[in-house]
């Protein structure tokens, strides 16, 4: 029902093309403040600097805020497109339920937050030489405020765009579930290709990003809504930004720990995909009674006969 309900609204695929262009324009507009601030500070030489160096030109908290601002503007553009171009309620972009289930959002958030905290502390205890205590009360307090406000906007934008807007649009176009799952997962992973982590650790890290996209997509299709994915993504990024940073990561934050190890991508990249992510999905499946996996992940998307208002794609 999560995809099928879109047939009640303006779902012509040309609308998704126009909508995507509007969203991309919103992202570009949202990036202007960061670009302007960096140019004012360092001059136009920043155009030739590596991304990881550009991110160090300004105060880390200010840079962090300006980076996330582009996602917030993109989210506003996306919600505008859904509401006024597709005549679709935001609730139906979020879930197939009659109302958004905040309990699911908080469960997804808490599950990954607890896991991230436990694993980070365990890594610190086992390999303390790989970490520095980076905690400074005032900068961390500023980071905390920025992160609590802005990171949910950033992760919600990515979820609404990939697991929501693109998932539903491709579902109505191809009339199945597996094409949207594959395309959105690969595109979500590809979005991270320009991250400094890829430069530092190599293309193998893309397995992790694409695998994460598949996990979030499976959550959405099996649960017939984005609530779990919204909470999970927000918890992953928020706790990660507050707990640990490194000189080679996309987010340079005033976190509690700083990773000073030499990063490499090996079997540890595959572990989440083969072990941890299936465990998360198993826990959610047991809690929410997921059934009929084959149909929900690979089944057809058919327009219901009782739809009163729609347009042909």
Map out the domains of the chain as residue ranges.
4-298
What pLDDT score does 50 carry?
64
Torsion-angle region of residue 43: left (phi > 0), alpha (psi -120 to 50) or beta?
Answer: left
Q: Going residue by residue through the chain (313 aa), what tens digit of pLDDT does each one get?
A: 899 999 999 999 999 999 999 999 999 999 999 989 888 887 767 666 666 666 677 888 999 999 999 999 999 999 999 999 999 999 999 999 999 999 999 999 999 999 999 999 999 999 999 999 999 999 999 999 999 999 999 999 999 999 999 999 999 999 999 999 999 999 999 988 878 788 778 788 889 999 999 999 999 999 999 999 999 999 999 999 999 988 878 778 999 999 988 877 677 778 889 999 999 999 999 999 999 999 999 999 988 776 655 555 4
What pLDDT score does 39 carry?
84
C-alpha distances out from residue 69 to 28, 33, 193, Å: 11, 8, 20
Backbone angles phi, psi at 95, to 5 degrees: -155, 165
CA distance 259 to 161: 31
Beta-carbon contacts of 2 under 8 Å, excluding residues fewer than 6 positions away, are 95, 96, 167, 168, 220, 221, 224, 225
């Amino acid at each position: 029902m999560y995809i099928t309900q879109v047939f009640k609204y303006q779902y012509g695929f040309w609308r998704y093309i126009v909508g995507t262009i509007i969203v991309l324009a919103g992202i570009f507009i949202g990036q202007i403040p960061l670009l302007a601030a960096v140019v004012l500070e360092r001059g136009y030489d920043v155009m030739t600097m590596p991304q990881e160096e550009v991110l160090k030109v300004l105060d880390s908290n200010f840079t962090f805020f300006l980076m996330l601002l582009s996602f917030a503007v993109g989210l506003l553009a996306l919600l505008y497109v859904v509401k006024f171009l597709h005549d679709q309620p935001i609730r139906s972009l979020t879930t197939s339920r009659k109302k958004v289930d905040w309990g699911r959002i908080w469960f997804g958030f808490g599950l990954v937050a607890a896991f991230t905290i436990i694993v980070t502390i365990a890594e610190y205890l086992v390999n303390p030489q790989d970490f520095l205590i980076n905690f400074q009360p005032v900068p961390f307090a500023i980071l905390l405020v920025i992160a609590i406000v802005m990171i949910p906007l950033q992760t919600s934008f990515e979820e609404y765009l990939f697991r929501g807007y693109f998932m539903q649009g491709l579902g109505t176009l191809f009339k199945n579930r597996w094409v949207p799952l594959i395309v959105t997962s690969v595109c979500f992973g590809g979005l991270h290709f320009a991250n400094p982590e890829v430069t530092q650790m190599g293309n193998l890290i893309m397995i992790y990003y694409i695998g994460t996209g598949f996990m979030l997509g499976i959550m959405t299709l099996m649960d017939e809504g984005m609530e779990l994915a919204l909470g999970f993504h927000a918890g992953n990024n928020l706790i990660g930004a507050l707990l640990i940073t490194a000189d080679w990561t996309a987010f340079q934050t005033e976190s509690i720990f700083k990773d000073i190890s030499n990063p490499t991508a090996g079997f540890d990249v595959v572990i989440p995909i083969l072990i941890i992510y299936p465990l998360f999905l198993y826990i959610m499946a047991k809690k929410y009674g997921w059934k009929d996996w084959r149909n929900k992940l690979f089944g057809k998307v058919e327009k219901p006969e009782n739809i009163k208002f729609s347009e042909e794609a």
